[in-house]
Amino acid sequence: MANDHGAVELAMRMKAHLEERGISVKYLGVDKPESVDYPDKAAECAKEYLKGGYDFAIVLCGTGIGISIAANKIRGIRCALVMDSYCAAMAKQHNNANMLAFGGRVEYKEDPLKILDAYLDSKFEGGRHERRVNKIMALESNQ
């Protein structure tokens, strides 16, 4: 998990929530409002995730947009910017997203912890979705 200065409070809430659920968290974010660059935090988190031993990763910035774009530039990452529980569940069930992005300055219609739980409580369905995920990943080598 990593965040920039725009999502300190939400990152702390998510970290505590994950730990309450019994999930170990490697925290790479900042806990102060001093400015840091979200592309750097996205790259750091993605590279740590890709070392192996993790089920998923979370990145956060002010909107979640910039950090998700940056994370998706890293080969092997499928980062979904999720705005509600339905999208979070589909990110896992259909896209097998290995990273989620959230915005610390976003006014969510539901608690972001509920959105996170929807992802955590979902499973990748495979089948036709696996074929599509493989096509997504093949795009990385078609450039």
- Cα separation values, 83 from 25, 44, 87, 133, Å: 22, 23, 7, 21
Which of these is catalytic: 5, 45, 61, 79?
61
The rounded distance, in Å, linking the Cα atoms of 74 and 129 is 21
Judge whether 79 counts as a catalytic residue.
no
Judge whether 94 counts as a catalytic residue.
yes
State CA 88 to chain mean position distance: 10
Residue 133 near residue 90 (C-beta atoms within 8 A):
no
58 burial type by CB count under 10 A (0-12 exposed, 13-18 middle, 19+ buried)? buried
3-state helix, strand, coil in the chain (%, to 5): 50, 10, 40
- Which of 55, 59, 60, 61 has the alpha carbon at shortest distance from 22? 55
Catalytic sites, residue numbers: 61, 94
